[in-house]
Structures are given as structure tokens and as C-alpha cells.
Amino acid sequence: MSEWAAKRFWKEASVDAGAQDFGILLDGRRLRTPAKAELRVPTRAMAQAIVAEWESQDGAIRPETMPVTRSANAAIDKVAVQFDEVVDMLAEYGGTDLLSYRADGPEELVARQAQAWDALLDWADDEFNARLAVTSGVIPVDQDAAAMARLRAELAALSPFALAAMHDLISLTGSLVLGLAVARGRLDAQQAWDLSRIDEDWQREQWGADEDADDLASLKNEALLQAARIWSLAHS
């Protein structure tokens, strides 16, 4: 027996412009989140992107093809109602940032990481006055508390919609610095993804491809590109 799936029930999706934000109408009825809150977003560009997602549905509704809608839902139903907890969770990535934890060998991999990552740590120091310490192997390193506080403040200043996008920028790369670099325009999303994959790419070069791992990586790469797009939409 096939699972039941919701099907398109509306003829037209449109933007409902308010005084300070934008909603989405389906045949004149306000679109709501899974938690039944009205779905209203901060920019017309984001609202238009959501409208385009709903207009593209034909037959069964496919949530996986609606990343902007899903991100907006998460911003309203989850991020906004536990904002400080989300900020704390993402700030913790700075304490174990991918760019701080280096291989202790072989020399080729050590050099590759240093060449790619040192400049981003320098950028974070210049941009946020937050110098992250570096360690090798599995030895943990304590980060400067003041630096961590400054990076947390950057996250706390975001809107729930921007923070929802930032969640994916950080979690998919494993790096608070890479996420902030995309947000500030220091890197584009594909560059950030490539920088986050240095270890995996090196292993692939040594031992060959793993089809399942490559498929999963491709999905994460696409999700990161979408997160960068949603970040941009939240500020357009």
C-alpha cells in the first residue's frame, strides 16, 4: 500500500505584502507553518521564492523541493521560540571548529590544511577580533573565552530567518568560521564546501571513491548551496 501524500489543492500562490513583512496566500488564504503560525518572512525576495516553490508543485506536494519554505517554517516554529538555545548550539562549533583541528600527518595533508585554512583563521581574527587556536591530532584545545563571546554575539544579532540559514552553513561544514565567511561574502558556498572537505578529498585520493559516501556528500553540498541562497534571500 502506498503512503498517502498531500496533493495540490490551490490554483494560485501569491505574495501578501504587509507593513513590515510578507506572507504567502494560496487562493487568498494565508499559508501557515506546521505549528499553525502564519508564515510571514522578512523580505519580498524570500516570499517570492516561497511562492515559486508552491507554484512549481504538480500533483503530490514534495517538501524536499521546497527548501525556502522549510527553512522559513523552521525559523518560525523552532528557531524563534528557542533562539538563545540555537545561538548557543551554533556558537559551540567555534570551540571545536574544523579549521582548528589539524592532522598530525602525513606532511602533504598537514600542508594542504595549513594552506587552505590558515588564511580563514586570519580573516576571523581581523573581522571579529576572534583568534582561534590550532591543535593537531585528537588533542583538544581551549579557545579564548572573549573570542568565543564575540563570535556568539555575531550569531545573536541575526534574525530567526538568518539564523536558520546560518545553522546549515555551520553544521554542514562543521565550522563556525566557514559559515560566517559565507555570510560575510568572504567565501561563496561552493568554496566553503570545498574547504570543509580537504580531509575527505585527501582520503579519496589515497583509497579511491566510496559511492555511498559520494552520494551523501553531494546531497550535503546541494543543501549548503541552498542555505547560502536562503541567507541571501533573508537579506534581500
pLDDT digits (tens, 9 = 90+) for 144-197: 999 999 999 999 999 999 999 999 999 999 999 999 999 999 999 999 999 999
What is the mean predicted confidence (pLDDT) over 106-123? 97
Q: Total domain count for the chain?
A: 1
Q: Is residue 230's pLDDT more than 70?
A: yes
Tell me the pLDDT tens digit for each residue of 32-88. Answer: 999 999 999 999 999 999 999 999 999 899 999 999 999 999 999 999 999 999 999
60 assigned to some structural domain: no
33 assigned to some structural domain: no
92 is written with which cell numbers? 559551540
| H helical segments located in 129-210 | 145-156, 160-173, 176-183, 189-196, 198-207
The residues near 94 (Cβ < 8 Å, ≥ 6 apart) are 130, 132, 143, 147, 148, 151, 152, 176, 177
pLDDT of residue 1: 41
What is the average pLDDT value for the chain, to the nearest integer?
96
pLDDT of residue 236: 81
3-state secondary structure of 236: coil
pLDDT of residue 15: 98
107 assigned to some structural domain: yes
Distance, CA of 47 to CA of 16 (rounded, Å):
8
- Asked if 104 contacts 136 with a C-beta cutoff of 8 angstroms, the reply is yes
Distance, CA of 227 to CA of 173 (rounded, Å):
11
15 assigned to some structural domain: no
CATH number of 149's domain: 1.10.3580.10
Which residues form the domain of 105?
82-235
- E-only strand ranges, 48-145: 101-102, 135-136
135 assigned to some structural domain: yes
Tell me the pLDDT tens digit for each residue of 213-226. Answer: 999 999 999 999 99
pLDDT of residue 221: 98
76 assigned to some structural domain: no
pLDDT of residue 6: 84
114 assigned to some structural domain: yes
137 assigned to some structural domain: yes
